[in-house]
A and B are shown apart, each in its own frame.
Chain A
Amino acid sequence: MTEFFNSPLFGIILCVVAYQAGLLIQHKLNSPLANPLLIAIALVIILLKTANIPLESFQRGGDVITMLLPPATAVLASSIYAQIQVLKKHFLPVVLGCLAGSVTSVASVYGLCKLFGLTDELVFSVLPKSVTTPIAMEISGAHGGITAITVAAVVCTGIFGAVFAPLMIRVFRVKHPVAAGVAIGTCSHAVGTSRALQLGEVEGAMSGIAIGVSGLITVGLSLLL
């Protein structure tokens, strides 16, 4: 049986099945809290724990899937390129918004971490939590953070953003769709963007652009640390 679980195919199939289950549950519940990624992670962890399958066995297939993360980040370029007209028109507000948001995110995370007295390892693990996972993982890894905690923080942040986006738009009286979109993308990356797409085309496009721009700005900020 060990050989069965040790095949990379086991991990790959488990990921795909768990993700499909996550999508199905999201569809049935129709709630932003039912995030397919979160459900899939929970399902895989529960299965590994109850069946007593070692994490290393699962990660043989997991590593194959993780290998696709760099290409996935690279092709964000094509989604930004597809919206180049919108970006040209609102270039300055988009870039300045992403800059202000990224600085706020990094500074407030750093300040709160110090306030809670967290270790440096944890601080660098959560510092890039508002940018898209592959970028956040690289920033965290480069500074000696624990990438698994980074992923957890990024996923939590994304779900917070997706769940509370409509509420935040109302509370902060954000009337301009460009402002709403950039804000969602800057604070909660791709998971938030999926919610922004439901709010409107402009919101979705602007949120998508903000993933890339805020990611780049945060990389720049991390170089200063």
Chain B
Amino acid sequence: MKLLLEISLIFAVCLAGQGLAALLPFPFPSSVMAMVLLFLLLLIKLIKPRQIENFSGFLLKNMALLFIPSGVGILESLDALRGSILPLLVICLVTTVLTFAVTACTVHGVILLQEAVCRRAEENKCGMSKGLAGKEDILHD
């Protein structure tokens, strides 16, 4: 029964996501809308993680399996692919490496920047508290 409730709850969030996506004036993936909705529901604790733990664990663990039919569906579009398989492979490889490099550099750069800003702020705070301490010393004297 617990599993049935979990499935219904997740399906209900997906259905709500579909309804919300349809209301938007621009095309927005309903599954992504459902993801945002579920995240918000978890944040405001209307849904607790343990209320969906079994079914979501099952879906996340077997996510790759769910893509098999779509992958097999490539048989349908072999004609569209013919002649462009090599360029598509090159495009996938080159852009993946490029995306990795830019992302890694950006994350590392921002982390270093944040640390530098934090250090400077701390030094300023230290300087200020030292100054205050000095004043207190004067008062005590």
Contact = CB atoms under 8 A, between A and B. Distances in A.
B138 interface: no
Interface in B86-141: 87-108, 110-111, 114
Interface residues of A, number: 104
Contacts of A48: 72, 75
A55 to B, nearest CB: 5
Given A126-B92, A148-B73, A151-B71, A36 B32 contact: no
Contacts of A164: 96-97
A160 B96 contact: yes
B59 A68 contact: yes
A204 interface: no
Contacts of A188: 96, 100
B71 A41 contact: yes
Residue in B32, B75, B88 whose Cβ sees the most chain A Cβ within 10 Å: B32
B110 A96 contact: yes
Contacts of A139: 29
Contact of A108 (B35, B60, B99): B99
Interface in B49-64: 49, 52-53, 55-56, 59-60, 62-64
Contacts of A92: 110, 114
Interface string A71-101: 1111111111110000000101110111111
A112 B84 CA distance: 13
Contact of B107 (A74, A93, A118): A93
If over half of B's interface residues share one DSSP class (helix, strand or loop), that class is named, otherwise mixed; here it is helix
Given A74-B35, A164-B97, A100 B103 contact: yes
B64 A190 contact: yes
Contacts, number: 305
If over half of A's interface residues share one DSSP class (helix, strand or loop), that class is named, otherwise mixed; here it is helix
A151 B73 contact: yes
B108 A176 contact: yes
A116 interface: yes
B103 A74 contact: no
A121 B80 contact: yes
A9 interface: no
B38 to A, nearest CB: 4
Given A93-B114, A113-B91, A138-B31, 18 more contacts: A18-B68, A40-B65, A62-B69, A70-B17, A70-B31, A78-B52, A81-B43, A101-B102, A104-B103, A105-B99, A146-B77, A148-B76, A155-B71, A169-B104, A179-B103, A179-B108, A179-B111, A188-B96
Interface of A: 11, 15-16, 18-19, 36-38, 40-41, 44-45, 48, 55, 58-59, 61-63, 65-66, 68-82, 90, 92-94, 96-102, 104-105, 108-109, 112-113, 116, 118, 121-122, 126, 129-130, 133-135, 137-139, 142, 146-149, 151-153, 155-157, 160-161, 164-165, 168-169, 172, 174-176, 178-180, 182-184, 186-188, 190-191, 210, 212, 215-216, 219, 223
28 contacts: A16-B65, A19-B65, A37-B65, A41-B72, A55-B73, A59-B72, A73-B34, A77-B35, A78-B52, A93-B107, A96-B107, A100-B102, A100-B103, A101-B100, A108-B94, A112-B91, A116-B87, A122-B88, A133-B67, A139-B29, A151-B70, A156-B88, A156-B89, A157-B96, A168-B101, A176-B111, A183-B107, A187-B103
- What are the 3 A-B residue pairs with the smallest beta carbon separation, nearest first? A62-B69, A101-B103, A138-B29
